[in-house]
Amino acid sequence: VCIHRVRSCSSIRFIKSKYVCVFDKSALKFSHQQRLFRTSAVSCGQIVQFKLSDIGEGITEVTVKEWYIKEGDSVSQFDSICEVQSDKASVTITSRYDGVIRKLHYSIDDIAFVGKPLVDIEIDASKGVAPEEDVVETPPMSHEEHTHQEIKGHKTLATPAVRRLAMENNIKLSEVVGTGKDNRILKEDILNYLAKQTGAILPPSPKAEIVPPLRKTEPVPAAPKDKARKIPVPVSRPIAFSGKDKTEPVTGFQKAMVKTMSAALKIPHFGYSDEIDLTQLVQLREELKPLAEIRGVKLSFMPFFIKAASLGLLQYPILNASLDENCQNVTYKASHNIGVAMDTEQGLIVPNVKNVQVCSVFDIAVELNRLQSLGSAGQLGTSDLTGGTFTLSNIGTIGGTYAKPVILPPEVAIGALGKIQVLPRFNGRGEVFKAQIMNVSWSADHRIIDGATMARFSNLWKSYLENPASMLLDLK
């Protein structure tokens, strides 16, 4: 049952629809006021001019600040249409009707007048052919927001959205117990009724759902206008998945990453992985952590990994080099600016610790702390993010063991560190002991780095970490 309600007050003017309609002549009664207007199969709606209602405090004009809809969009009653501002008050104007927006009378920053048309809405035509007996003249609408219908002399209060839900499920409103104000039928009541009929257990609707949600946010391109997002589909019907794909443009930082990664994959990568026994390092760090804390610094494993890498680079400087565009020259960089991959809200950024070759493990820890706090606050500067010569990615803090990292140009090598796991291993005496094992996966530029170099570097790095005391011998 779908009956049109029409306001009897003179503020509404009907504009004869410009669409071709097919009428059942006997049912056609067209007049200005509250007569009904029913059509058959082809949709043909009335266009109603929705006027800007009184704001209060004697205000006659407002500025239109934002539209939430555009011409052609469907709206339901109570959906937000626009935001207007008047003298420090921001007002959300909501739709009084269900229908399709046909015209916006103002642009952003225009002055809109109270009592004048704001938008034209084409009101939904009835769905399908309504049976004869339902063509009744309804009494004039008062200022009540909700429509009501008289069925068998029993007044039933329900919003159009609720009545539509009932209609879609072939439910007679008179059979539903209303739990709202004045025995108004709410969405929950329809759902409970359905649950009893089908024996299905429907998910409870969120408490906040009594008032149909106002659309306060600007529509994202291609985002579905999901009126029904919280109405569960009854089990007796086939479950329809109404999710829609969402397309967004690739912009800003992401766009830059696309360019860089595409360039990176032009580099012929080879991989080399190994397993490191960090049992001794874990112990050492436990001992040093409180000392660092006294100095106000958080000590993780990274400073050790970074310093060991730098010591390794002193022996294998080709891993800290750069190949020029035409692959004609190799530049051996003097500074070991070791980058540390960081995962932030906007994605992967790689700040670097400058001149690790002259830094102590503690210096590196201090610098890492600084970079980490700037990184999470989104305040890293350009100098922190440029000039890197070699990169370590501690993906293990999130998880994983083996990885295949991508070299960040203009560098020629990168290492990905997996998580530290406690695993059983055999010692020199053939006994099983508890070992703290971490995997490392290196990638290098095969144009100038060969497997043997990478392997030897990795072995050296591994030996420093498996036996931290040996780092003391080579510290500068």
Question: Which residues are at the interface with other proteins (CB under 8 A)?
Answer: 55-57, 65-66, 78, 83, 85-92, 94, 108-109, 179-180, 206-211, 214, 216-218, 249, 251-253, 255-257, 259-260, 263-264, 322, 324-325, 331, 346-347, 349, 377-383, 385-386, 408-410
Q: How many CB atoms lie within 10 A of CB 246?
A: 10
CA–CA distance, 39 with 44 (Å, rounded to integer): 7
Helix axes 302-315 and 451-466, enclosed angle (nearest 10): 130
Q: How far is the CB of 13 from other proteins (least distance, A)?
A: 23
Q: How far is the CB of 346 from other proteins (least distance, A)?
A: 6
Residue 188's nearest CA partner among 177, 172, 200, 199 is 177
CA–CA distance, 393 with 50 (Å, rounded to integer): 59
Tell me the β-bridge partners of 426.
Answer: 432
Q: Which residues, including other chains, have CB under 8 Å from residue 219's CB and lie 6 or more apart?
A: 68, 69, 73, 225
Our CB check for other proteins shows the closer of 3 and 264 to be 264
Residue 52's nearest CA partner among 3, 125, 123, 104 is 104
Q: How far is the CB of 368 from other proteins (least distance, A)?
A: 18
Our CB check for other proteins shows the closer of 93 and 166 to be 93
- The reply to whether 446 belongs to the active site is yes
Our CB check for other proteins shows the closer of 11 and 254 to be 254
Our CB check for other proteins shows the closer of 413 and 435 to be 413
Q: How far is the CB of 397 from other proteins (least distance, A)?
A: 20
Q: How far is the CB of 380 from other proteins (least distance, A)?
A: 6
- The reply to whether 143 belongs to the active site is no
Q: How far is the CB of 461 from other proteins (least distance, A)?
A: 24
Catalytic residue among 24, 54, 450, 474: 450
Our CB check for other proteins shows the closer of 256 and 422 to be 256
**Could you tell me the two tokens for 308?**
């060991």
Catalytic residue among 73, 105, 274, 446: 446
Our CB check for other proteins shows the closer of 179 and 283 to be 179
Active site residues: 446, 450
